Amino acid sequence: MKLHKATAAAAAALVLSLTATACGGDSADDGDSGDGGGKITIGIKFDQPGLGLKTPDGTFAGFDVDVATYVAKELGYDAKDIVWKESPSAERENLISNGDVKFVVASYSITDERKQKVDFAGPYFLAHQDLLVRADDSSITKVEDLNSKKLCSVTGSTSAQNVKEKLAPKADLLENGGYSECLTGLENKAVDALTTDNSILAGYAAQKEHQGKFKLVGLKLSDENYGIGLKKGDTELQSKINAALTKMESDGSWQKAVTANFGPANYENEPAPKITEGS
């Protein structure tokens, strides 16, 4: 009896692993019609608590994850059919153009420059650029204070570009591949401030391991309208995603996701923005 059970379990495991292999394609969309049946690959951040985070147990959490999951569902994909692909700031346009992802939901601001290469649906969220400093540092209270400071941001982000072009051109700017690297630098005093969207900074400040270490300065240095990036010219996908975002707001799921993901960080969010892309 015991032996029989073990054999059955082994057989079941084999079937499961075979099924997983058969479905585990790496392309952006194995079911081409977008109405179910296959897998869908979606680009998110892996290191931004509150927005897109790969947790130690290998699951994914955050507002962008919830938005992406909702949109995928409207396109005909269950949560289990989503393959998450890490999409660092500087790689988002390439991942989309190359077809490595079907779309990107990764604190991805809609800009004219990016729209030369990709299209967006949305926006679905409005954030503002701010500064994160060490909790005991009172020397940085306004953007002008940055000109004699070491500042960290991420390559390919609007945050870094804004600093260089207008906010603090004389600041000593270090650009990293991801915000979590900047956070380490801020903690060990390699840099004096980290700048990016307040939505991202609030998530870091609220993390258990960082509590009491950092504070947001509370500046609104820019408007960052988050869009869902997709292949240029795919107007069909763009309007389907816009319809999903509209539904997410009207059925209360948007607010629920905001509360669940930003509530713990005490982040005061802006209301849902009006959809402007594709119309």
Query: Residue 157: how many CB atoms within 10 A of its CB?
Result: 27
Q: Which is nearer to ligand GLU, 39 or 182 (CB)?
A: 182
Interacting residue ranges for ligand GLU, rule: CB under 6 A? 89, 106-109, 154, 157-159, 196-197, 224
What angle is formed at CA 109 by the lines to CA 105 and CA 113, rounded to 5 degrees?
120
Q: Which is nearer to ligand GLU, 29 or 93 (CB)?
A: 93
**Alpha helices in the chain, H assignment, sequence order:** 2-23, 63-74, 92-97, 158-162, 179-187, 198-206, 235-250, 253-262
Q: Which is nearer to ligand GLU, 66 or 197 (CB)?
A: 197
CB of 215 to ligand GLU, least distance (A): 19
CB of 53 to ligand GLU, least distance (A): 13
Collect all residues with Cβ–Cβ distance below 8 Å to 257 and sequence separation of at least 6: 63, 66, 67, 70, 248
Q: Which is nearer to ligand GLU, 114 or 231 (CB)?
A: 114
Cβ-closest position to ligand GLU: 157
CB of 102 to ligand GLU, least distance (A): 18
CB of 206 to ligand GLU, least distance (A): 17
Q: Which is nearest to 106 in space by CA: 231, 244, 227, 246?
A: 227
Q: Which is nearer to ligand GLU, 81 or 224 (CB)?
A: 224
Residue 10: phi, psi to the nearest 5? -65, -40
CB of 22 to ligand GLU, least distance (A): 34
